[in-house]
Amino acid sequence: MPKRTDIKSILVIGAGPIVIGQACEFDYSGSQACKVLREEGYRVILVNSNPATIMTDPEFADATYIEPLTLECLEKIILKEKPDAVLPTMGGQTALNLSIELYNSKILKNNKVELIGASVDAIIKAEDRELFCNAMSKIGLNTPKSYQVSSLSDGLKVLKKLSLPVIIRPSFTLGGTGGGIAYNIEEFKDIVSAGIDASPESTVLIEQSVLGWKEYEMEVVRDKNDNAIIVCSIENIDPMGVHTGDSITVSPALTLTDKEYQKMRNASIAVLREIGVETGGSNVQFAVNPKNGKMVVIEMNPRVSRSSALASKATGFPIAKVAARLAVGYTLDEISNEITSVTPASFEPSIDYVVTKIPRFAFEKFSGASKTLTSAMKSVGEVMSIARTFEQSFHKALRSLETGLNGFDEIHLDQEDKKNFILSKLSSPSPKRILYVAQAFRENIELNQIYESCKIDHWFLKKIQEIVDSEILIKKNKKNITSDLLYQAKLLGFSDFKIAELTKSSEDQIYKLRKKFNIFPNFFKVDTCAGEFKTNTSYLYSSYEIPYQSLSYEKENIISEKKKVIILGGGPNRIGQGIEFDYCCVHASYALSSENIESIMINCNPETVSTDYDTSDKLYFEPLTLEDILEIVKLEKSKGQLLGLIIQFGGQTPLKLSKDLERHKIPIIGTSPGSIDLAEDREKFKKFLIKNKLKQPENGIAKTSNKVKSIAKKISYPVILRPSYVLGGRAMQIIYNENDLEKYVNNIVDAFGDKPILIDKFLNDAVEVDVDALSDGKNVFIAGIMEHIEEAGIHSGDSACSLPPYSLSENIIKKIIKQTKLIAKKLEVIGLLNIQFAVKYENNNELLYILEVNPRASRTVPFVAKATGNQIAKIAAKCMIGKKINSKALLPWFSKKKFAVKEAVFPFKKFKGVDVLLGPEMKSTGEVMGLDVNFGRAFAKSQIATGIKLPSKGNIFISVKDKDKPFIKVICKRLVTLGYKLVCTKGTANYLKTEKINVSFVNKVIEGRPHIVDMIKNKNIALIFNTTEGNQSISDSFSLRQAALHTNVPYYTTISGCKSVLLALENLKENKLNIKSLQSY
Amino acid sequence: MFFKSNISNFSKAALILENGDIFPCLGIGSKGQVTGELCFNTAMTGYQEAISDPSYASQILMFTFPHIGITGVNNEDIENKKIFLHGVIFKELSNHYSNWRSLKSLNKWLIQNNVIGVTSLNTRNLTIKVRDQGALKATIINGVKKKLNIKSLVKKTADWSGINDNDLAKVVSCKKPYVYKNITKSKNRIEIVAIDFGCKKNILDLFLKSNFRVTVVPYTYNYDQIMKFKPRGVFLSNGPGDPFATSRLVLHTINELIKNNMPLFGICLGHQILGLALGANTIKMHHGHHGVNQPVKNLNNNKIEITSQNHGFMIDPKTLMQDIKVSHISLFDKTIQGIEHVSKPFFSVQYHPESSPGPHDSRYLFNKFKKNICT
């Protein structure tokens, strides 16, 4: 049956900001859905608060709303756009939950809007644990014994019917937030209470744990005629007990017989039927008892998910595209498989390779957080790798992570009792557990004993053991690396770097040896059908194969005769490098294609749009390491004209490689590596600034701790310290005295070795400004100037910012523009440039400092593009291939009628016990944008979009450091005028009383009860302004911020933040929020 | 692990194609030399079932999935006690195995069953070769002692008689009739006879599950011999080889059954033979269908079934008689996947509804047979 004609317009709901558990995979699925629905002729209305997405590019929808994902905004959009249908399955848990709200509030019914893709009944049946378990038992499937409770006392009652450990799962939350595994009664009480708080329904499921069972996932697609297919099976190497997002996984499932696989297949389809997923993709999770094959259903998601993105990339079957078509009435046999083009989508992909996914964590950013992995997801990104064997695939994935691993790297242990130490590490899941498995083999621990500790399937353990054994063999033969030895090492997936490490030679030497012996990888297609059909796809991966291959056999990687450019992607998402850079890479690809240049993408992040097989002309799903890139360059250079590599779009990942690429004489287009180095190298940069009469905060550079100290003293405290060549302010810290300095230097030497340390004078109370600019080498175009809301010292990625600036003078803006243009010219920038300035007000003077110059795409590029309407990443890519900027064709960056505020989103709730205070080290995972007619309104929207509820009345708690008191006075007066009641601690209260402001008093936590935390927990506080300074008062107020975090009370920890909130509240009082599409600005 | 034997050991085994290509590789399973028709199977699970499937007689089966043997072997997942295929090709044979049901390694089982195999080959390139050039004759050698006489090996391979026009049922069919699992007669069970062209065990198991009692007979049994068992329906089993060659011996029997309106159900080779009996022709396919992901459309209700398939011949659609309708087609290449008589109780499918290995989407056909018998 053809598509539905009774619906004309469809509202697609996005997933909002990147958070742990919901990353750019929903940009991938959402943009696919938008593309398909427009192709089918529907009017697409899109709402998403995340400006860094491809889906919010104006050409992806007929009306694009970058607005908060709240019921209020959605209702306004529905009233204005009058869509016929809402597609809720592309935007993760956020969109599902929102759709249920829309349904419950009758907004859908009153406006005659239909939900397509999933019905409310199905969503609720899948998400409500009790209904789900009942549904499963109805179709004869087992689920772990479980009980739903809404209070701790009920929880304790049901615990009598179960045995510890148990798993606690809050209903309707994302990535298991608020849940966990309780091994004892104390943990049980903690997790149940926290889980009830975290659940929007205030319920948790207490479930008998099946720890140690094998875990599987099935990606299922079903159409309205009840045709169902399994797109991909996924096996978690980490057994039950680790959230699937945090587990290392392989595809297809490897350790199931066909009998077991088919049982799971039947069950998966039965689950979709029973839950009532009538069209679209779902994922069903199972646990299997390794002792007897007993199978239980763990859960299902009635929507596309992180796993479906992985499955799409793993097989070449675009689940989101197909699901979108099914949602508008097609059946599976009516949709063609785009990869083979001769077969329909109604088949089950067969793959002839092994796919490995490894999550990437950011624990180093959250000191104090436990690294133990549980049922609540903690990873911030992931890598995927493809190769013909498990060994090669796993090795590739390890080096794709960019965490410094070159394989199963050794863990150096000083413990006396290494064996028991390792066994304890094996029994407690952590990001490093897989390395401990290898270490266990090195320490000659028996396989069975390793199995008993970690319950990772024997087969995987055996494979790791073989790899460890091979390492020893390679080491033994280091003096005589023969062609055989090298070939076999490559067949087992060892990287050149790893082989060099084992044989005490260099990566270059091994590469030369490979050349000498003619040992190179083969490239194969991801074709959905294991070679059964001829395909035209250009989605490729490399793998080493046995030599002696007859040359007449088809080479699958066809090298074109065209002009071409290779774009290096950004690798796995991490804090500081995420979707923004993928956005830039995707735009580069679009720009190249529009200029008829073959675009070739290399990336290893399965969540992204850049690794969608139809984003670029050619996609190599490969690690971003020198070795892997060299192999691709070698081939692509062999025919046609390789103009060069784009390295300025993928964040730090490709930049780190620039020197190596230069050494190998690989052409780089855009700003030269020399200029990049000039900006990154402190000494050279300092000279450059002096030469051009530009000012930077006093600074120095040192390699030894004594030198660091003496420089700090010379500059005078506070100073800001950081290692060179890092992104996201990794290990960056403001140091107020010599004691702290000592601690910092010791830690840093451990983590970063001999990298020089940079020391800068910290500018107290300065305003930070971010500038993005474009340059073609001659013309410089100011793309956007953003004023940070938080003062300098807070990482720019964590700070909210406003475009245009809301408080800077015209004079200083002129100065910023002038200096930006000067730097762009002097650095011979071709492409994008980002500069961070600081404006300091001293004795009525405005002093302008340059903090950082980055001749590359910055995190703010997509925000600037959305705020101004100029697609600057595309223009930058065109500059790199020699096009000139036509400023007249661009929109001015400044408009008095349009303010855009970017706000960061933080993962603190995921890391128990970590302070929420911000500093120079970046901690946010994502961002939202608020767009409106003035700053206050835009700021309000940005806050609401992060999930905050700005109160219209109630108590505001105020406690500020002495220095801030004069500023808070004004704020408080206006808050009182707006009708809020103020609650303060003694110092602030006394001060405000002398200013004749009516406040009530509350105890600090250390002053006895009832205190402020009691008030917060009792929900008597609607908003918190709390600025602190000094270690003592920071630790005193820690419990306050934690309480606010867990009770969802908005809190502001800087005075500039407080001022902005005041403006927001005033504006909201005046007029309610309004919505407006990007296209109508 | 590769390191145990270095690459120079690879010459200890070899794959030789009829076109003269030769591939040094590693030997697995039993030692020896064998020639067969090279085909590939894209299933990612179910190697034990596939290897023991009699339909692969005379073929060298190559798996496209690289790791084979991960779950070892057990006593349940076999489709026939005796193995009839000529050889196996894996990219990698898993020495280590892991599954709660597994009893031994795949290699051990191959040796015990005298199956010759080779491994450590670029199976993807070979698959593409077969896809593009069609089923090839091939020889595999496990245990090369001295230098190979390539010329004579290639000639021998090319001269092998092949599957075309080869009645392989005579190799795999049972020699004496037997009642499957010695089920005793009862009112509740429907009596049928299964003509054994190389029947898979799971088909018989599913008949039992659907309350049939099955007497399996050699494919050479004639009408009278069959009717002695008083069947209410006759099943034409799957099997290897060229259906036309096999049909010469059985067409007469089937035609008698047809004439007497005996309900008939055929699977795979049985389907082709029913087609021949009903007046159609069969033709050899380019490289056939071998996998468990094959979409088939049921034209009676427009539903899609993901099926298990293993066939190198097919019914020529141009030769179908008027009273025969196509009930199922392949969504991959639109070939016939099922036929039924417009008015009489005869139907058959080209694919494997018993699917061992493979998805269970098409098991309703066993009930359809029952319905045809009972109404």
Q: What are the pLDDT digits (tens) for A396-439?
A: 999 999 999 999 999 999 888 999 999 999 999 999 999 999 99
How far is B79 from chain A, CA to nearest CA, in Å? 13
Instruction: Tell me the mean pLDDT in the region A136-143.
Output: 96
| Catalytic annotation present for B352 | yes
User: How many interface pairs between A and B have CB atoms less than 8 angstroms apart?
Assistant: 193
- pLDDT exceeds cutoff 90 at A764: no
Classify burial at A260, counting beta carbons within 10 Å of its beta carbon; exposed 0-12, middle 13-18, buried 19 or more.
buried
- pLDDT exceeds cutoff 90 at B194: yes
Q: How many degrees, rounded to 5, is the angle at CA A1005 between CA A1001 and CA A1006?
A: 110
* B124 chain-A contacts, CB cut-off 8 A: 352, 388, 524, 530-531
**Residues forming a β-bridge with A47:** A13, A65
How far is A374 from chain B, CA to nearest CA, in Å? 26
If DSSP codes are grouped into helix, strand and coil, which group holds residue A300?
A: strand
Task: State the pLDDT at residue A754.
Answer: 65
| Catalytic annotation present for B268 | yes
* B295 chain-A contacts, CB cut-off 8 A: 333, 343-344, 346-347
Contact A205, A125 (CB under 8 A): no
If DSSP codes are grouped into helix, strand and coil, which group holds residue A599?
A: strand
Interface with chain B: mutation pick from A352, A390, A481, A524, highest number of B CBs within 10 Å: A352
User: Is B20 within 8 Å of chain A by CB?
Assistant: no
Task: State the pLDDT at residue A714.
Answer: 92
Instruction: Tell me the mean pLDDT in the region A1059-1065.
Output: 96
- Name the closest residue on chain A to residue B50, using Cα atoms: A258
Task: State the pLDDT at residue A912.
Answer: 79
Instruction: Tell me the mean pLDDT in the region A164-184.
Output: 84
* B304 chain-A contacts, CB cut-off 8 A: 225, 227, 331-333, 346
Instruction: Tell me the mean pLDDT in the region A864-876.
Output: 97
Buried b (16+ CB within 10 A) or exposed e, A869-878: bbbbbbbbbb
All domains in chain B, ordered by first residue: 2-159 (3.50.30.20), 169-374 (3.40.50.880)
* B16 chain-A contacts, CB cut-off 8 A: none
Contact B256, B227 (CB under 8 A): no
User: Is B23 within 8 Å of chain A by CB?
Assistant: yes
DSSP string, A176-197: TTT-EEESSHHHHHHHHHHHHH
Task: State the pLDDT at residue A874.
Answer: 97
User: Is B293 within 8 Å of chain A by CB?
Assistant: yes
Task: State the pLDDT at residue A750.
Answer: 61
Contact A671, A856 (CB under 8 A): yes
Instruction: Tell me the mean pLDDT in the region A555-584.
Output: 95
Task: State the pLDDT at residue B254.
Answer: 97
pLDDT (tens digit, 9 = 90+) per residue, A716-733? 989 988 887 666 677 788
User: Is B117 within 8 Å of chain A by CB?
Assistant: no
* A389 chain-B contacts, CB cut-off 8 A: 66-67, 91-92
Amino acid at the residue A816 = I
Nearest CB partner across the interface for B46, out of A255, A258, A333: A258
Quickly state the pLDDT bin for A501 (edges 50, 70, 90).
very high
Q: Which residues, in sequence order, are CB contacts of B194 under 8 Å at separation 6+?
A: B180, B203, B204, B207, B214, B215, B216, B217, B234, B235, B237
pLDDT (tens digit, 9 = 90+) per residue, A977-1036? 999 999 999 889 999 999 899 999 999 888 888 999 999 988 999 999 998 877 777 888
User: Is B122 within 8 Å of chain A by CB?
Assistant: yes
> CB distance B92–A389 less than 8 Å?
yes
Q: Mean pLDDT, chain A, as a whole number?
A: 93
Which of B 154-193 lie inside 8 A of A, CB atoms?
none
Nearest CB partner across the interface for B122, out of A258, A463, A549: A549
Nearest CB partner across the interface for A347, out of B94, B127, B294: B294
Rounded Cα gap, residues A339 and A511, in angstroms = 34
Task: State the pLDDT at residue A791.
Answer: 83
* Least confident range of A551-555, A928-932, B296-300: A551-555
User: Is B10 within 8 Å of chain A by CB?
Assistant: yes
- pLDDT exceeds cutoff 90 at A197: no
Q: Which residue has the higher pLDDT, B95 or A611?
A: A611
pLDDT (tens digit, 9 = 90+) per residue, B301-324? 999 999 999 999 999 999 999 999
Task: State the pLDDT at residue A727.
Answer: 63
pLDDT (tens digit, 9 = 90+) per residue, A51-107? 999 999 999 999 999 999 999 999 999 999 999 999 999 999 999 999 999 999 999
Instruction: Tell me the mean pLDDT in the region A225-251.
Output: 96
* A463 chain-B contacts, CB cut-off 8 A: 96
Q: Which residue has the higher pLDDT, A834 or A548?
A: A834
DSSP string, B298-323: ETTTTEEEEEEEEEEEEE-GGG--TT
Contact A247, A360 (CB under 8 A): no
- pLDDT exceeds cutoff 50 at B1: no
Q: Which residue has the higher pLDDT, A195 or B80?
A: B80
Task: State the pLDDT at residue B3.
Answer: 42
Task: State the pLDDT at residue A1.
Answer: 63
User: Is B138 within 8 Å of chain A by CB?
Assistant: no
Task: State the pLDDT at residue B9.
Answer: 47
Nearest CB partner across the interface for B99, out of A257, A485, A492: A257
B129 φ, ψ (degrees, to nearest 5): -60, -50
Nearest CB partner across the interface for A553, out of B25, B129, B297: B129
* B14 chain-A contacts, CB cut-off 8 A: none
Task: State the pLDDT at residue B8.
Answer: 46
User: Is B9 within 8 Å of chain A by CB?
Assistant: no
- pLDDT exceeds cutoff 60 at B2: no
If you ran DSSP here, which 8-state letter would residue A225 be given? T
Task: State the pLDDT at residue A739.
Answer: 85
- pLDDT exceeds cutoff 70 at B161: yes
Interface with chain A: mutation pick from B122, B298, B363, highest number of A CBs within 10 Å: B122
Quickly state the pLDDT bin for A907 (edges 50, 70, 90).
very high
Instruction: Tell me the mean pLDDT in the region B64-92.
Output: 96
If DSSP codes are grouped into helix, strand and coil, which group holds residue B102?
A: coil
Nearest CB partner across the interface for A466, out of B1, B24, B40: B1
Task: State the pLDDT at residue B4.
Answer: 42
How far is B170 from chain A, CA to nearest CA, in Å? 29
> CB distance A347–B121 less than 8 Å?
no
Q: How many degrees, rounded to 5, is the angle at CA B98 between CA A491 and CA A247?
A: 70
Instruction: Tell me the mean pLDDT in the region B360-374.
Output: 96
> CB distance B291–A293 less than 8 Å?
no
Nearest CB partner across the interface for B98, out of A333, A342, A459: A459
> CB distance B98–A457 less than 8 Å?
yes
Rounded Cα gap, residues A391 and A493, in angstroms = 6
How far is A127 from chain B, CA to nearest CA, in Å? 28
Rounded Cα gap, residues B100 and A663, in angstroms = 53
Q: Which residues, in sequence order, are CB contacts of A397 under 8 Å at separation 6+?
A: A248, A356, A357, A358, A383, A384, A385, A604, A623
* Least confident range of A68-72, A198-202, A358-362: A198-202
The ipTM (two decimal places) reads: 0.96
How far is A30 from chain B, CA to nearest CA, in Å? 27
- pLDDT exceeds cutoff 50 at B88: yes
Which of these is catalytic: B25, B268, B289, B311? B268
Instruction: Tell me the mean pLDDT in the region B263-279.
Output: 97
* Least confident range of A181-185, A741-745, B70-74: A741-745
Contact A426, A437 (CB under 8 A): yes
Task: State the pLDDT at residue A341.
Answer: 82
pLDDT (tens digit, 9 = 90+) per residue, A459-488? 999 999 999 999 999 999 999 999 989 999
- pLDDT exceeds cutoff 50 at B242: yes
* A469 chain-B contacts, CB cut-off 8 A: 1, 3
Instruction: Tell me the mean pLDDT in the region A532-556.
Output: 81
Q: Mean pLDDT, chain B, as a whole number?
A: 94
